[in-house]
Amino acid sequence: MATQRIEGLNVAQDGGVLRLQLDRPERKNALTDEIVAGLIESFDAAGSDESVRAIVLSGTGEHFCSGFDLTTRAPSGPEKPRVGAIQRRMGHQVNRLIPAMLECQTPIVAAAQGWVIGLGLNLVLASDFAVVADDARLWAPFTEFGFTPDSGASWLIPRLVGVARAKEMLLLGRKVDGAKAAEWGLVHDAVPADELDRAAEALTTEVASAPTVAVGLSKLLVHRGLTADLHRHLAEEGFAMEVSSRSEDFAEYHRARRERRPPEFRGR
């Protein structure tokens, strides 16, 4: 994938790693329609780009993301939108973002600091591995603002931390710091803020050097298993094993064992 600059989003490929960086620090990296579209396009493209073996999602400045920038949605005319406008618009915009992340077989690592709010929180939760600063503040403030969760919050959070804690976050609007988020299993790990970049980079290196086909299919199985019955899921596991066992990385593992050396997976 070519390096590109979308207003508020930096997109660059570094070897086998695609780096997506939210870049609106003056607005705490609040998302716009253009940024959402750029993220969706990037995840979709990376999923079929064989040169990309891992994706890193981060934000510039002191905060990861303060959610969607509602000031960009201010009415431009005197007439109110028709009833149902929000529902219709979301179907073509933010409601495509979280599925794009979950369905992308390329593993996604998120590194988050400061405020992680609303849609920004969902970005972190939909990543395969989220490393956050231990003093980061994760917040699903929907009911405090007088409306309901969107873009997958009420789907993601219960699956990660259970119903009781999900209600604490979604119904009561309780903020969760990074350390507690890791303790709950809401994120992969929490580290001191000055170690965040180093920890995320180490994890990215590990993921990018793993057997990409097997990792991608395993991710697919995990997410499909959340809604599949056992017999159907066992069949899908069999299909995934058939495909992964024909990969070059599978052959490399057995070659390395015979030669008594560490395998060098190439993502093929």
- Per-residue pLDDT tens for 67-90? 998 887 665 556 666 655 455 555
Q: What does the DSSP 8-state code read for residue 108?
A: E
235 and 125 in a single domain? The answer is: no
233 and 160 in a single domain? The answer is: no
For tokens 């992969």, name the residue.
Answer: 188
160 and 252 in a single domain? The answer is: no
111 and 39 in a single domain? The answer is: yes
10 and 105 in a single domain? The answer is: yes
Residue 242 domain-assigned (yes or no) = yes
Please give the model's pTM, rounded to 2 decimal places. 0.91
Residue with the bigger pLDDT between 172 and 87: it is 172
Contacts of the segment 216-223: beta carbons below 8 A, 24+ positions apart: 216/105, 216/106, 216/107, 217/105, 217/243, 217/244, 219/105, 219/107, 219/128, 220/103, 220/105, 223/102, 223/103
Structural domain for 150, as ranges:
4-208
How far apart CA 102 and CA 110 sit, in angstroms, is 13
Given pLDDT bands bounded at 50, 70 and 90, which one contains residue 3?
A: low
157 and 197 in a single domain? The answer is: yes
**Sign, CA torsion 155/161/167/172:** negative
Mean pLDDT score of the chain? 92
168 and 47 in a single domain? The answer is: yes
For tokens 């790990």, name the residue.
Answer: 189
How far apart CA 65 and CA 45 sit, in angstroms, is 23
169 and 138 in a single domain? The answer is: yes
CATH number of the domain encompassing residue 126: 3.90.226.10
Number of domains in the chain: 2
30 and 55 in a single domain? The answer is: yes
Residue 121 domain-assigned (yes or no) = yes
Residue 5 has pLDDT above 80, yes or no: no
237 and 131 in a single domain? The answer is: no
How far apart CA 98 and CA 104 sit, in angstroms, is 10
Residue 268 domain-assigned (yes or no) = no
What percent of the chain is helix, strand and coil (3-state, nearest 5)?
50, 15, 35
pLDDT digits (tens, 9 = 90+) for 102-141: 999 999 999 999 999 999 999 999 999 999 999 999 999 9
136 and 85 in a single domain? The answer is: yes
How far apart CA 84 and CA 235 sit, in angstroms, is 40
Residue 9 domain-assigned (yes or no) = yes
Residue 264 domain-assigned (yes or no) = no
20 and 59 in a single domain? The answer is: yes
Q: What are phi and psi of 65, to 5 degrees?
A: -170, 135
Cα Rg for the chain, rounded, in angstroms? 19
How far apart CA 227 and CA 240 sit, in angstroms, is 17
Please name the residues in contact with 76: beta carbons below 8 A apart, sequence gap of 6 or more.
none
pLDDT digits (tens, 9 = 90+) for 198-255: 999 999 999 999 999 999 999 999 999 999 999 999 999 999 999 999 999 999 999 9
